Structure 1
Amino acid sequence: MLIIFGGLPGSGKTTVARALAKRLDALHLRVDTIEQAIRASGDAERDIGQAGYVVAYGVAQDNLTLGRLVVADSVNPLEITRSAWLAVAARSAAIAVEVEVICSDKTEHRRRVETRKTDVEGLVKPTWQEVVDRVYEDWGRRPIVVDTAAKSVEETVDGLVAKLGIDRRPSI
């Protein structure tokens, strides 16, 4: 299964995606980390464009064909990126589930954006204005929508696990 996360920066998508991946013993594939690694490997000023997503699609497909559950974590702002994730699942004969993460409380969302620290060395987080101005296309076909303003991370993950119909706890 490929669980495709998307949502604006500061919505809580990485927090939820990580917690879900841990709960399901899945591969957590974060485009921010890939993009920053690409920047760090060469010309940091050069626009990397779609390279991070393309790398993520390849890594996801490799793991899906091995039978791994993959949680893909990215802003995923455009229909073209969402369709590409769905194509990865199709090529891998895997089920695809889309999850859009939102924070319906705009004051809380702004607070998160303005106060969060980066957890990827060198990654510069967007400003609130950059988040507000970002191109973010409507999902059209409705994914599972998760509102992080309304529930704790644990409650959110519990709800997602129930909707997905799977619960693989990691072995210790």
Structure 2
Amino acid sequence: MAFIEVVCSDPVLHRRRLAGRSREIEGFPEPAWEAVERRREELAAWADARLVLDSVNDLSLSVETPLRFLSATA
């Protein structure tokens, strides 16, 4: 099993992305910023081995890196 965590290291950008997002998935409302902060605190203690991707980085890197990671763990 492989875990991949995606974070956004820039809180201003993260909040702006959240405010502008509209997935329109029935039964899944968009989270409020406070919920995102609570979730971040919950995950801070996560100790399992994982790949952490930062969504601030270039998209091509964010695709290439997990593909290599998953190939190495298969």
TM range (shorter): 0.7 to 0.9
Rate the CA distance shift 1:149–1:120 in 2: closer, same or farther, 3 A: same
Instruction: Give the equivalent residue in structure 2 for 1:124.
Output: 29
Please, which of 41, 46, 53 is the counterpart of residue 139 of structure 1?
Answer: 46
Instruction: Give the equivalent residue in structure 1 for 2:64.
Output: 158
TM-score, structure 2 as length reference: 0.76
Structure 1 unmatched ranges of 5 or more: 1-95, 167-172
1:92-142 Cα distance to aligned partner (Å, 9 max, x none): xxxx11111111111111111111002412421111122113352322133
Equivalent residues in 2 for 1:35-46 (5 A)?
none
For these two proteins, the number of residue pairs brought into alignment is 70
3-state secondary structure, aligned to 1:146: strand
Q: CA deviation at 1:162?
A: 1.5
Identity across aligned pairs (percent)?
Answer: 30
Structure with the larger helix share: 2
Q: Which has the higher contact order (CA 8 A, sep 6+)?
A: 2
Rate the CA distance shift 1:127–1:163 in 2: closer, same or farther, 3 A: same
Instruction: Give the equivalent residue in structure 1 for 2:4.
Output: 99
CA distance in structure 2 between the aligned counterparts of 1:165 and 1:141, rounded to whole angstroms: 18
CA distance in structure 2 between the aligned counterparts of 1:114 and 1:100, rounded to whole angstroms: 21
Equivalent residues in 2 for 1:74-113 (5 A)?
96-113=1-18
Rate the CA distance shift 1:119–1:157 in 2: closer, same or farther, 3 A: farther
Letter in 1 for 2:21: R
Structure 2 unmatched ranges of 5 or more: none
Q: CA deviation at 1:160?
A: 1.0
3-state secondary structure, aligned to 1:150: coil
Select between 136-145 and 106-115 the one with higher mean Cα deviation. 136-145
CA distance in structure 2 between the aligned counterparts of 1:132 and 1:98, rounded to whole angstroms: 20
TM-score, structure 1 as length reference: 0.36
Structure 1 stretches of 4+ with a deviation exceeding 6 A read: none
3-state secondary structure, aligned to 2:57: coil
**CA RMSD of the aligned region, Å?**
1.9
